[in-house]
Structure 1
Amino acid sequence: MQNLSLLSQTERNRIELDKQAAYTVWKVKNAKAGYEAFAELSNNISDDDDRDLFERAVSKYKVQMGVK
């Protein structure tokens, strides 16, 4: 196990984006949010690399959770 507080701010941010992607896909799958939630979150990410990471994570979790 790794202490997350020892990671750089960039790495902590990437972990947070991955968690947000997983949670948003879960919410869509369970009808707690609509598909527009993906665009809303993505549009709020100003850094292009972070936005790309978030969108790749969303794609990954859509496949894992069976969301189209």
Structure 2
Amino acid sequence: MHNLTLLSDAEKNRIELDKQAAYAVWQVKNAKKGYEVFAEIGGNIDDDDEREFFERAVTKYKNKMAVA
């Protein structure tokens, strides 16, 4: 078990971005939203490194959930 409160703000943010990516892919897979959800979320991320992290997470979850 890990105590998430001990993580840095940057690490907590990456966990949140990873969760957002997983949920966005799930929404697309289950026809709750269209593919534009990825651009919508990514467009709201100001930091280039964080946006790239989100995009990599989306790719990871697309592969795991078999979303084209």
Which TM-score band applies after superposition, normalised by the shorter structure? over 0.9
Q: Partners of 1:32 and 1:4 in 2: how far apart?
A: 30
Where does structure 1 lack aligned partners over 5 or more consecutive residues? Answer: none
Matches within 5 A, 1:1-68: 1-68=1-68
Structure 1 residue runs of 4 or more that deviate by more than 6 Å after TM superposition: none
Superimposed CA distance per residue, residues 11-62 of structure 1 (whole angstroms, 9 cap, x where no aligned partner): 0000000000000000000000100000000000000000000000000000
SS in 1 for 2:67: coil
RMSD: 0.3
Scaled by the length of structure 1, the TM-score of the pair is 0.99
SS in 1 for 2:45: coil
**Structure 1: which amino acid aligns with 2:51?**
R
Scaled by the length of structure 2, the TM-score of the pair is 0.99
Aligned residues: 68
**Structure 2: which amino acid aligns with 1:47?**
D
**Structure 2: which amino acid aligns with 1:53?**
F
